[in-house]
Structure 1
């Protein structure tokens, strides 16, 4: 049973985009690893930008407009 966890920042990811991610990742597991889509689990975690860091900076601060 594959379990795929996708983490993204909580910046307006739409329901349609999430649906496409789930379908696309499931299709990829079927194509590459011949996994059963009925037992392939995909979880999308939306992380607040204050809880995400890049290049030693908080994502929310790094990309804040001056």
Structure 2
């Protein structure tokens, strides 16, 4: 019984259709690769506020600004 937890930032307004496509795609991947039945696979999508997400030791907005400044 696979459990997959996907975390994304709550920006850009991810639609229900996009989330459904993610759930379907991940479930089908586990079916195709590991032979895990669709009805035994659980996928949870958590949306995280942007200020609660960090990368490279920085809040993501600061990280993106620093990366943009490099180009």
Q: TM-score scaled to structure 1, two decimals?
A: 0.88
Structure with a larger share of its residues in helix:
2
Output one character per residue of 1:40-63: Cα deviation in whole Å (capped at 9) or x when no partner. 000000011110001221113444
What is the count of residue pairs matched by the alignment? 64
Residue 5 of structure 1 corresponds to which residue in structure 2? 5
Report what 2:47 is aligned to: 46
Q: Equivalents in 2 of 1:55, 1:28: separation in Å?
A: 29
TM-score by length of 2: 0.82
1:43 partner SS: strand
In structure 1, the residue matched to 2:56 is 55
Question: Counterpart in 2 of 1:20?
Answer: 21
Runs (4+) of structure 1 moved beyond 6 Å? none
Runs of 5+ consecutive residues of structure 1 not aligned to the other structure: none
Alignment RMSD? 1.2
